Structure 1
Amino acid sequence: MTVAAPTEDGSATELLGTLAADRATGALSTESGVLYLSAGDVVHVESAHSPDLGDLLTRSGAVTPDGWWEAVERAGAGHRVGRRLVDSGRLTAGALELCHLGALFDAAYFALAPGSVALRFRPGAAHWLGAVRPVPVATVLRETWRRRDLLHRLWPDPAVDTAPLTRVPGVDPADLPPRRGRTLALVDGARTAAHIASALAYRTFHTLVELRRLAAAGIVTPAPPPPTAPVHRVPGEDGAAWDEPDTALLRRLLHALEAL
Structure 2
Amino acid sequence: MSPATVSPMLVRLAGERATGALLRDRGTLYLVDGQVVHAESPAAPGIDILLTATGRLRPEGWQQAVDRAGAHGFVGRFLVESGQVAGGELEICHLGALHDAAFFALAPSSGPTRFRYGVAHWIGPVHPVSAEVVEREAARRRDLLDRLWPYPDVDNAPVVRTRRRPDTTVTARQRAVLALADGAMTPQDIARALGRPAFHILIDIRRLAAAGAVETPRAPVPQAHLVPAWVAGMTPDPDVALLRRLRDALEATL
Q: TM-score range by the shorter chain?
A: 0.7 to 0.9
For 1:215, the equivalent position in structure 2 comes to: 209
Check if 1:157 corresponds to 2:154. Answer: no
Q: Structure 1 length normalisation: TM-score?
A: 0.77
Note the C-alpha offset of 1:14: 0.6
Aligned partners of 2:217 and 2:84: how far apart in 1? 40
Candidates 106, 110, 113, aligned match of 2:104:
110
- Note closer, same or farther for the CA distance 1:23–1:118 as it changes in structure 2 (3 Å cut): farther
Instruction: Specify every segment of 5 or more residues in structure 1 that has no aligned partner in the other structure, as ranges.
Output: 1-10, 226-260
- Note closer, same or farther for the CA distance 1:152–1:224 as it changes in structure 2 (3 Å cut): closer
- Note closer, same or farther for the CA distance 1:39–1:116 as it changes in structure 2 (3 Å cut): farther
Aligned partners of 1:107 and 1:85: how far apart in 2? 21
Check if 1:202 corresponds to 2:173. Answer: no
Candidates 12, 21, 26, aligned match of 1:27:
21
- 8 Å contact 1:165–1:221 — kept in the other structure? yes
Check if 1:55 corresponds to 2:52. Answer: no
Aligned partners of 2:31 and 2:15: how far apart in 1? 12
- 8 Å contact 1:12–1:118 — kept in the other structure? no
Note the C-alpha offset of 1:126: 0.6
Note the C-alpha offset of 1:219: 2.2
For 2:248, the equivalent position in structure 1 comes to: none
For 1:129, the equivalent position in structure 2 comes to: 123
Rg (Cα) greater in structure = 1
Higher fraction of helix: 2
Aligned partners of 1:221 and 1:48: how far apart in 2? 24
For 1:45, the equivalent position in structure 2 comes to: 39
Note the C-alpha offset of 1:217: 2.0
- 8 Å contact 2:151–2:216 — kept in the other structure? no
Note the C-alpha offset of 1:124: 0.3
Note the C-alpha offset of 1:86: 0.3
For 1:77, the equivalent position in structure 2 comes to: 71
SS in 2 for 1:62: coil
For 1:141, the equivalent position in structure 2 comes to: 135
SS in 1 for 2:215: strand
Q: Structure 2 length normalisation: TM-score?
A: 0.79
- 8 Å contact 2:39–2:98 — kept in the other structure? yes
- 8 Å contact 1:12–1:30 — kept in the other structure? no
Note the C-alpha offset of 1:223: 6.0
- 8 Å contact 1:27–1:36 — kept in the other structure? yes
Aligned partners of 2:110 and 2:197: how far apart in 1? 22
For 1:181, the equivalent position in structure 2 comes to: 175
SS in 2 for 1:130: coil
Count of residue pairs brought into register by the alignment: 213
- 8 Å contact 1:161–1:193 — kept in the other structure? yes
Note the C-alpha offset of 1:116: 5.5
Note the C-alpha offset of 1:158: 1.6
Bigger Cα displacement from structure 2, 152-161 vs 68-77: 152-161
Note the C-alpha offset of 1:203: 2.4
Bigger Cα displacement from structure 2, 128-137 vs 189-198: 189-198
For 1:95, the equivalent position in structure 2 comes to: 89
- Note closer, same or farther for the CA distance 1:191–1:58 as it changes in structure 2 (3 Å cut): same
Residue-by-residue CA offset, 1:128-180 (whole Å, 9 max, x unaligned): 111211000000011111111111000111222222221213659xx722111
Check if 1:13 corresponds to 2:7. Answer: yes
Aligned partners of 2:6 and 2:139: how far apart in 1? 14
Instruction: Specify every segment of 5 or more residues in structure 2 that has no aligned partner in the other structure, as ranges.
Output: 220-254
SS in 2 for 1:60: coil
Q: What letter matches 1:161 in structure 2? A: D
Note the C-alpha offset of 1:12: 6.6
Residue-by-residue CA offset, 1:40-94 (whole Å, 9 max, x unaligned): 0000100011100001100011100000000000000000000100010000110
SS in 2 for 1:167: coil
- 8 Å contact 1:41–1:136 — kept in the other structure? yes
C-alpha RMSD of the superposition: 1.9
- 8 Å contact 1:189–1:223 — kept in the other structure? no
